[in-house]
Every structure is written in structure tokens, then in C-alpha cells.
Structure 1
Amino acid sequence: MIICSCNAISDQSVRASLTGENSPRTPGAVYRCLGCRPCCGRCFATVRAIIDETLSQSGAASTEAGAAASAAMALLDTNRDGHAQGACGQDCASCAA
């Protein structure tokens, strides 16, 4: 199923990117792994859910990684309305996520 219509990313491609020892742990890292960048950010919650599900199934979920990802999601949610991808022109963490 397509979960990101901006980049035509499927849930299967997100899951496939999460295999291996150095797999991404945040939505932004998943996008970089897949060779793209988030646009509108509406799919971040779904990507985060897939990451959490996949890591918990593999037993690789750590409290520290989960806390860092939650903080990143909170920042994205705070800035989503007035802070579109690259809109600030400062390459800040919200734009780069």
C-alpha cells in the first residue's frame, strides 16, 4: 500500500529499509535511506508506526531510540503547519527531517 503519495513510497519499501544492523530509526532516516525527502509530512506518523512495529517484532527497539524519535515527531508536529519542507531557508532540523 502507498503510504507516501508525494514520493510514491509503499509500506513494503519502508519495511525493507528497516532490515540490517544499521537500519534507520526515524522517519527522516527512512526517507534518506530510500533516496528521497519528505514533502508534506502527513505520512510521518505512519512511517513511525511501521518503524515501531518492525523494531518491536525484531526485538531491536530501544528506549533511547524511541525517546529520540518521539522528540523528533513532536518537533515536526509543532512546526508542520507553518514550516513546509525547506521553507525556512535555514536547513533546520525540521526541514531536514
Structure 2
Amino acid sequence: MHHYESTSSAMRDNQQPPMQGGADDGAAEDERHLIEKAKQIYLKGVAAERAGRMHDAISHYRRALQIVPDIEFRMASGSEWSVDEESSGSETE
């Protein structure tokens, strides 16, 4: 009976019991979302730099780096990301 009380008190304190299986799926999805967000901000920086708006470009690059510290490396080496292809549509901002 004591075990039941400790389990119910943990639930009462909004602590959920450890999940089996899919717990990592949520973390992976969160990471993908953050990487995508950083990518979009980085690409805004690329567009701003190409348009000669260096202050804006630096601001975007810094924001992207705060989200994903190695975003520049990922953008340069990632085969799925091509800065030239992705940024061509966002230069009109």
C-alpha cells in the first residue's frame, strides 16, 4: 500500500512515470524543429548578406547560432541543404 501512495503522490506533483518506447521520438521531433527554425533564420541571413544588408545578416546569423551552434557547418556540409537553392526564394523579404 505504501508503494501506491508514493506513485499517486508523484502523479499529484505532475511527474509522469517514465514512458516506454516513444519518448525519444518527441525529443527527435523537437530537435528537427529547432534545426529547421535555425536553417530558415540562417537563410534569411544569407539573403540579407547578398542584398548588402550586413547588419541584418549578422543579426540573423547570430540568432541561428544561438539555436543550433553548428548551423554554419550543417549548412555548408549538409547534402540535403543547398544555400543557393533555398535562399533564392527568400531574397524578397
Same fold (TM over 0.5): no
Structure with the largest fraction of helix: 2
Band of TM-score, shorter chain: under 0.3
- Give the TM-score of the pair, scaled to structure 1: 0.27
